């Protein structure tokens, strides 16, 4: 496995541990349906919220704007994946979209949590 893939997996594990420590229940990791993927699906029972979490892991934060990595296309794909997830499991709950930025080496990760990082755009039809 490529070195960057290993770093990504370790970053996702650190993100899972972080969310669990905050009281969330991890429902899925790397959930896929067709071409749609969600890095982490976590549930917050106190609020009945499903957290759709995008994890970005980098070795260095030089020249790196984390939110620039969550492009409009990526946001649209996450929204579509979240809708598919809700339909598939027939869930009735609210959704928020979080981003977790992991920077550094596995033994010294720095974690930045951005809850409710974006709000899905409304689609209008003509």
- List the domain boundaries for the chain: 3-110
Going by CATH, does the domain composed of 3-110 fall within 3.40.1350.10?
yes
pLDDT of residue 2: 65
In sequence order, the 6+-apart residues with CB closer than 8 A to the CB of 50 are 27, 41, 42, 43, 44, 82, 85, 86, 91, 93, 94, 95, 96
* Averaged pLDDT for residues 10-28: 97
pLDDT per residue as tens digits for the range 24-40: 999 999 999 999 999 99
124, pLDDT greater than 60? no
pLDDT of residue 46: 94
* More confident of the two residues 22 and 121: 22
């Amino acid at each position: 496995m490529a070195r960057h893939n290993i770093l990504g997996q370790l970053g996702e594990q650190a993100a899972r541990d972080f969310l669990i420590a905050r009281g969330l229940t991890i429902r899925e990791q790397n959930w896929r349906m067709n071409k749609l993927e969600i890095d982490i699906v976590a549930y917050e029972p106190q609020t009945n919220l499903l957290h759709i979490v995008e994890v970005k892991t980098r070795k260095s934060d030089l020249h790196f704007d984390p939110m620039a990595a969550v492009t409009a296309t990526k946001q649209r794909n996450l929204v579509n994946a979240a809708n598919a997830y809700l339909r598939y499991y027939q869930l009735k709950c609210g959704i928020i979209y979080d981003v977790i930025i992991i920077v550094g080496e596995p033994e010294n990760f720095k974690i930045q949590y951005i809850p409710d990082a974006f709000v899905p755009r409304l689609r209008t039809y003509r």
